[in-house]
């Protein structure tokens, strides 16, 4: 904290796992606070973070990730979260071909945004996303047909 860095930057905590460690992230935030960082960012993914040759987006994985981030936020001090960056990777890594192009991931983006906006996910939110996207059946646990 004596370096002055906490007054110049805000850390971003990245994790794309569907089962991210909520308690571990809360402890990490506490460590950042003790070092003088008053704000942190979270980084999630709505696509492109589940496999090197993934061509379709498994919405359920990304939805679970966002729901876990909501748990981290609710178990952290109210004033610590500056924001959440929803990443959408075009390549799994720099040496890979393109994966999960944006058009196939739009339903995942819509679901994740609505879950964050509403503080959770429900059948009503699913119906709202289906209506907004003009879809008759949004599949979250299998690949979209």
The model's confidence at residue 105, banded by pLDDT at 50, 70 and 90, is very high
Sheet holding 81-88, edge to edge: 12-14, 40-47, 81-88
Lowest mean pLDDT among 9-18, 54-63, 121-130: 54-63
Q: What is the pLDDT of residue 113?
A: 97
User: How many Cα atoms within 13 Å fall on the side-chain side of residue 44?
Assistant: 26
Q: Please answer whether residues 86 and 40 qualify as being in contact, where contact means their C-beta atoms are separated by less than 8 angstroms.
A: no
Mean pLDDT of 28-53: 94
Q: What is the pLDDT of residue 51?
A: 82
Mean pLDDT of 26-32: 98
Q: Global pTM? A: 0.92
Q: Which domains, and CATH codes, for the chain? A: 5-133 (3.20.20.80)
Mean pLDDT of 72-82: 96
Q: Please answer whether residues 72 and 78 qualify as being in contact, where contact means their C-beta atoms are separated by less than 8 angstroms.
A: no
The model's confidence at residue 143, banded by pLDDT at 50, 70 and 90, is low
- The residue among 18 and 55 whose pLDDT is bigger is 18
Q: Please answer whether residues 15 and 65 qualify as being in contact, where contact means their C-beta atoms are separated by less than 8 angstroms.
A: yes
Residue appearing with tokens 């890594």:
93
């Amino acid at each position: 904290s004596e370096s002055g860095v906490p007054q110049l930057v805000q850390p971003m905590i990245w994790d794309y796992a569907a089962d991210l460690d909520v308690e571990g992230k809360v402890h990490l935030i506490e460590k950042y606070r003790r070092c003088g960082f008053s704000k942190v960012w979270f980084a999630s993914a709505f696509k492109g973070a589940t496999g090197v040759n993934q061509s379709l987006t498994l919405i359920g994985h990304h939805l679970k990730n966002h729901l876990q981030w909501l748990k981290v936020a609710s178990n952290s001090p109210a004033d610590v979260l500056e924001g959440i960056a929803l990443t959408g990777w075009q390549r799994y890594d720099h040496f890979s071909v393109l994966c999960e192009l944006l058009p196939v991931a739009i339903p995942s983006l819509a679901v994740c945004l609505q879950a964050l906006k509403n503080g959770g996910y429900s059948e009503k939110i699913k119906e709202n996303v289906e209506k907004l996207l003009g879809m008759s059946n949004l599949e979250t646990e299998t690949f979209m047909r």
